[in-house]
Structures are given as structure tokens and as C-alpha cells.
Structure 1
Amino acid sequence: MSSVWDDLDLLLDSPSSLTVNSTVRGTIKEKPGFNPGEDAAALRKAIEGIGTTEKTLIDILTQRSNAQRQLVCKAYQDATGRTLCDDLEGDTRGDLEGILVALITPPAKFDCQEFIGAIKGAGTTESVLIELFASRSNHQIKAMCDAYLAETGRALIHDLKSEVSGDFEKTLLILAEGKRVESTNVDVAKAKEDAKILYEAGEKKWGTDESKFIDILCHRSVPQLRQTLVEYKSLSGKTLQESIEREMSGRLEDILVAIVKCVKSVPAYLAERLYKSMKGAGTTESTLTRIIVGRSEVDLQDIKAEYKKLFGTSLYSDIESETSGDFGQTLLKICGEDGK
């Protein structure tokens, strides 16, 4: 079965969310004529009035950039002596509370809190760890690690070590160091050589040498890896993803496939995560919140476009049919209707 992940034709020229630090592909932009004091007063009225006016909370918090929301939080605290976060937690419930609090959290701190949520409690949520580390740029990973240190006083890598093991751990720890090469230069000869190393460590060998896969996939730059994917297919007749799926299993397979997908297209990888979070048994609201809020100023426009290509329906209409109430409304506002 051929899939979007087998198509390498346009790969070498397409932009990558792992290397671009820009907000132009987000759905949320700075609001012109923004006044933090006015917003804070409106939020206060919505929270302190008889019965919280959720619509006001949603309208304000989804139509400002994260940087503007930080200024609103400060104005709110200056005016009331309370934090907006505490008041939202006191006044809203469940998934709505989760998404409104996510909106007023700085992005690196939000990633850090998602990481903490994934490692605490009974059993680690590996799928969240995979998503966080495979889809984030070096810059985002470093910011998440800094936020973790500020929040807990401990190094993220230290705590990660105690939660995972084996080759899966090795892969996550390398990604968590945020050391992927940033150069945009592509060495074609090196890509051919890496492709050959991967082929000989997997398809051609009895038993797989996982360490070669981990080393190459976690360290090379995105443009270099893209060239390697192309060389691998012309050498072996298969995509690297197909080979990983044949040769490996379990969590290691999951994370290496996620890295390959993100090297090709972070938005397509996240579109697939969103689809699975809605179409599986029961909707995974925390995944919807993490991706929709977390990518709202990064590449949510691209995620919407990839979603449509992959699944033939719009992200907007799937969110509309799979979620409800104020939580669903908040997601839809962030997502934006254009090209439903």
C-alpha cells in the first residue's frame, strides 16, 4: 500500500518546520490595536460575574498571540492581585480549563508541562514523548529543557533517564540534547554513504544494527537526511520508513518512524496524530489541545493543508464533529475556518 510517506519527489525543496523559526504559517497572529488592560478588565468581568461568561474568555484568549496573552496575564495580576491561571482553574472545568490554561502558558513552558505529564503517574506516555522530541526543533527542545530546569530544579535529561530504557531511551536522550546539525548544506556523497550504512545495518543483515539507525537519524541535519531518504530508496527500492517497519518493533520502531516522518514533514506527521486522536476509540482531548495550541503560531496552516491531503476532509469539520461544547469552540477558533 503506497502512502503519502513513500512519496519523495518534492522532498528536497520543501520547507521544514524543524528548521524555520517563523510564525507566518500559524493561524493566530498578533491582534492590531491590542490593549492588555482592556482585555484584563473584560476577562475579570467574565470570571467575577454571576456565572462565568465562557464566550468572552474564548474570544479574547484565541484571538491574541501568545506574547500578547502574557501581557494580559500581567495586567490581570496587577489589577486583581490574583493570577489569571488560578482564576481560570477555579472557574472552568475539564478540557475547557485545560485548553484555556494552555493558551496563557508560554510555549516552552507548555511543552515542559506536557513532558512532565507524560512521565508522571503510573506508566510513562511514550507516544507523547515521541511527539515532543521528534517534532521540535533544536531551539524548541533547548527552550523546553530550560523551562524544565526552572520549574523543577533538575535537568530534563536526568529525569528522562529514569523513565525509559534500552534503545528507545538512547534515541530520546540524543534528541533531548537538541544537537541535530543545523547546516543547510547537503553532502550528496555522505548521503549515499549513510544510505548504504543503513541498508547494510538493516535490510541486508541478519539481525539489525539499531545503533546505526539511531546515530544517523538523530544527528544529521534535516536537508542531509532528506537527501539520505532519497538515496536509500534508489539503493534499496524501499523507503527507509518501510525498512524500519520491517526490521524493528515496539517503541524503537515508533520513534524512528516518527523521526523519518518529521524529517519529511512535521505538519503531515502532526496532522496524522490529530486524525488518530479523533478517530481512535474515544477522542484524546489532551493531544488535540497540545497540537492545536502548540502549533497555532508555528505551522497550523500547513497542518490543515496536510490534513486535507491525507484524509480528504478538513481538520475544521473533523474537530466540529468529534468535539463539543466550549472546548470544541475553542479549538475551532484557533484552527480558523479558512478553506474549511
Structure 2
Amino acid sequence: MYHYQNRPPYPPPQGPPQGYNQQPNPQPLPYPQQHYMPSHNPPNQPGYPPYGAPNQHQPPYPPQGTPPAQQGFYQRPPQGYPQGPPPPTSPHGPPQGFPYSPDSFGTPAPPFPPQPQFQAPPPASVPSMGYVRGQQANGDFRPQADQLRRAMKGFGTDEKALIQVLAKLSPLEMAAVRSTYTHHIRRDLYKDVKSETSGYFRRGLLAIIDGPLQYDVACVREAVDGIGTKEWLLNDILLSRSNADLDIIKTTYQQTYKRSLPKDVEDDLSFKTMSLFSMILRATRHEESAPLDPQLIEAEAKSLHSATAARIVNNVEEVCGIFARASDHELRAINQAFQHRYNIHLTKHIEKEFSGHMKDALLHMLGVALDPAMYDAEQLEECMKGMGTKDEKLTTRVVRLHWNPNHMDQVKRAYRHRYQKDLIERVKGETSGDYQRLMVALLQ
């Protein structure tokens, strides 16, 4: 796991940064920052956050007013407490830098701006793009449907034509093409592609056709079905998700498989991780729009330390409870408070105190909160490093990344910064044939 506190200095930006969810006078940002993630909304489809994101309303990318010299740089997002609640124009953003100087460690915390005594509850998160059943892009998609049918009709299959059409579609456009194919061609696109292709090439195409919601549901079922559990897949799909997305995943899983997702997950995990995922699947995370409570953040940081370093046996329930209920916004602040109070990065502390799936799950949640683009870059490299390529992981993660073009651009920058390599060239070296062409097309 890459430790964020060990990153090299990044090129200083020029001019007023206006990237990822800024607070007033934030620390400088790198690239137009945003996780799991901004995506373009198709025409006449406003109002939905990017697939997999913590349901944030993002500013346009690249940021307005940023000079060309700043473009292409990657820099760690700002961390720490905000100076008061987020502004109305960017209610979910990362907090500002922690209000301490390096020489003030161990001294009492400076006073925080008074919080209003009574506040309206934060607005509930809305589903990610592609998570609302029946939602489609507007327009005539019969040309795409015809092109897909021609690619598979008769003897042989035109794989390049399949890639050319499917790799360009947003989730709502894909839903419209699939519906058009059914009513215009009178055939099932999913079944046709499944019968005409094979291997990881087929897996990638079918994932695109399924779309974000149905593919996530299928992945969760795959993770717990049969002998053994694919913990990485449960982490990728269920952790760091909004309450709205988790509720829809549970409902769709029940409707698709006539089974309870929380029960299936609980039956497949050991006691410790079962407790964490049970709490997460209750979908009761604090909303990203809620203002931070500095006293609560300090208390949570103390509780994490008391539940781990201050005990012979870790109080897993306490740790799971904190991680399961905290928003990404709060996890960033808890991380900063923990580091200030105990002089150790929370990532390192988790690595030291936990192991196995529990450690991976907690680090996943922390990585997504602290630096989503860098974390996704590391996850992609994990699919390709060492002997052999973990093609199942790579296919799943590239498809899900493809649904979020703006975030994908940030991940590619973060990857180059971290590994001094181009992500697309790296993927080319690990894949071949139609599978390679599909992965490259999805990353462009």
C-alpha cells in the first residue's frame, strides 16, 4: 500500500485552483480533482452524480482559470479539517488543510468556528448515473443497433465493430442502445454478444451491456456464489458507496436472485469482516453534505486509538462502526486528527493492527477517502504487477472506470505520477488480441 505521506512534492499550481470540491482558500490542487467518480451526463439527462461517486456535484473539468502549465500534473488532494461548513456551491468537498503548524504538535487545538446550534438535516444522496431503472439517453439509437447486428450476423463476427460501438457509450446511452436493439432488431443484445464472443473480451463487452447497476449486482453475486469468496470484488462493489447506491444494489439483488444480499454476504464472511459488511449494508453512512463536527472527529480519532493500540486485542466492533458510519469527508478529517494526535498516519496504523480481508477493507475505505484517483491507479497496477495478469480484476476495474471519463483522466495522471509509466501502454503490454483492443478503447 502506497503511503500518502511519503509522496514527492508536486509541481506548484498557478492561479486560483478551482478543481475538486474546493472549500474557501483551500490548499492547492493538482489536476482537476474529483472517486468512483465524475462522468459526463448525456444530453437532457442532468441531475445525476457520476457512477460510483459519493454523489457529489462536481464543477466542470478542466477547472476554469487554470493556466495551461498546470494541466497534466497530479497532486495529492488537500486533507484535514475545513474552516467551517462547506460552501453552498460545493457542499461535499475535501476539507482544507489541518489548522496546525508543524511546531504545534501536542499543543491544544485552536478554537474552531462556532457551529450553528440547529441545522437542517443534510440532503440524502441520489443514485449514481445508470442506477435508476428505465433511465435512458434521449435520441435515435437505431444506427448503433443496426451496426451491432451487422457485426454479428452471418458467418463470423466483426469484433472491431463491436468495440467501436460499445466502448464509446455512456451508461444511459448503453441502456438506450440495448432497448432499441430489443424493439428494433427483435433480438436480445446480451445473448447475441454472449454467443458470438469468448474469454475476457466477452466478459468486458457483457459488463458494458449490463450497465453499472446490473453489473455491480452480478459482481456481488459472483463474489459470494459457490465455494470461496472473492473478497476483492466485495470491496470494489460495496465499500465507499453512497447510501442511495447501496439501497438500490440490495433491492435489485433481491429482485434478480430472490435472495437477501446482507444474508448472503454475512454467510460468506468470517466473524470480523462479517460485522464490518453488515454495518455497511445497513446504508446509514453520514452524508457527504453534512458539516463536520470537530469534537466528533477528535472523539472518533481517540476511539480508533483506544480500540487498537491501547488494547492487547483489538476492539473490532468499535473500529468497524467508525469506518462504516463515517463519510469520506469525515474519514479525511479523522485521518488528519489521528496523525496529529498520535504522530502516525492512519494508513500505517491500520496496516500494523490488522491483517487479511479486514485490513484490505479498511485500507480500501481509507484510500478512497484520502485520494480516490491515486487509489484507483494503485488498484490497476495491482492487477498487472508480478507474474501473470489478473485479467478478471483488470477487466472489472477498467469497465467501471470507463463509466467515469473525468475520473479516468485523473487516474491516468495519478498512474503516470506514481509509476512513471503510461497506463494505456502498461495495459497493452499485459493483454493481447480483441481483449487488448477493448481495454485500450475503454481507457481512451
C-alpha distance in structure 1 between counterparts of 2:300 and 2:237, whole Å: 26
1:163 pairs with 2:271: no
* 2:352 paired residue number: 246
* 2:91 paired residue number: none
C-alpha distance in structure 2 between counterparts of 1:132 and 1:287, whole Å: 12
Question: How many pairs are equivalent?
Answer: 330
* 1:28 paired residue number: none
Choose from 271, 284, 305 the match for 2:390.
284
Alignment CA distance shift 1:286-1:105 (3 Å): same
Moved more, 204-213 or 247-256: 204-213
Letter in 2 for 1:328: Q
Choose from 271, 275, 285 the match for 1:180.
285
Moved more, 32-41 or 176-185: 32-41
* 1:29 paired residue number: none
Q: Report which of the two structures shows the higher radius of gyration computed on alpha carbons.
A: 2
Choose from 269, 272, 285 the match for 2:375.
269
C-alpha distance in structure 2 between counterparts of 1:126 and 1:64, whole Å: 29
Q: CA deviation at 1:22?
A: 6.1
* Larger relative contact order (CA 8 Å, sep ≥ 6): 1
Choose from 140, 151, 155 the match for 1:50.
155
C-alpha distance in structure 1 between counterparts of 2:291 and 2:224, whole Å: 36
**How big is each residue's C-alpha offset from its partner over 1:27-86, in whole Å with a ceiling of 9 and x where there is no partner?**
xxxxx9964111111111110033111111100001121211222112222233320100
SS at match of 2:157: coil
Where is the helix percentage greater, Structure 1 or Structure 2? 1
SS at match of 1:104: helix
Q: Is the 8 A contact 2:3 2:347 kept in 1?
A: no
Alignment CA distance shift 1:159-1:235 (3 Å): same
**Runs of 5+ unmatched residues, structure 2:** 10-19, 27-32, 38-52, 62-136
**How big is each residue's C-alpha offset from its partner over 1:94-139, in whole Å with a ceiling of 9 and x where there is no partner?**
1111111111112111001111111112211112112222243333
* 2:403 paired residue number: 297
1:90 pairs with 2:125: no
Q: Is the 8 A contact 2:54 2:240 kept in 1?
A: no
Letter in 2 for 1:323: T
* 2:338 paired residue number: 232
Choose from 318, 328, 338 the match for 2:436.
328
Q: Is the 8 A contact 1:36 1:75 kept in 2?
A: yes
1:256 pairs with 2:362: yes
Q: Is the 8 A contact 2:328 2:368 kept in 1?
A: no
SS at match of 2:338: helix
Letter in 1 for 2:242: S
Letter in 2 for 1:193: A
- Per the normalisation by structure 1, the TM-score is 0.89
Letter in 1 for 2:301: A
- Per the normalisation by structure 2, the TM-score is 0.69
Alignment CA distance shift 1:142-1:33 (3 Å): closer
Identity of aligned residues (%): 25
Choose from 306, 313, 328 the match for 2:414.
306
Choose from 276, 296, 300 the match for 1:190.
296
What does 1:2-81 correspond to in 2, within 5 Å?
3-4=3-4, 15=34, 17=37, 18-21=53-56, 35-81=140-186
* 1:133 paired residue number: 238
1:115 pairs with 2:237: no
**Runs of 5+ unmatched residues, structure 1:** 26-31
C-alpha distance in structure 2 between counterparts of 1:239 and 1:231, whole Å: 10
Q: Is the 8 A contact 1:42 1:56 kept in 2?
A: yes
Q: Is the 8 A contact 1:185 1:224 kept in 2?
A: no
**How big is each residue's C-alpha offset from its partner over 1:164-194, in whole Å with a ceiling of 9 and x where there is no partner?**
1211111112122222100431112221121
Alignment CA distance shift 1:316-1:199 (3 Å): same
Letter in 1 for 2:297: A
Letter in 1 for 2:304: L
Q: Could you say what the CA RMSD is over the residues aligned between the two structures, in angstroms?
A: 2.6
SS at match of 2:264: helix
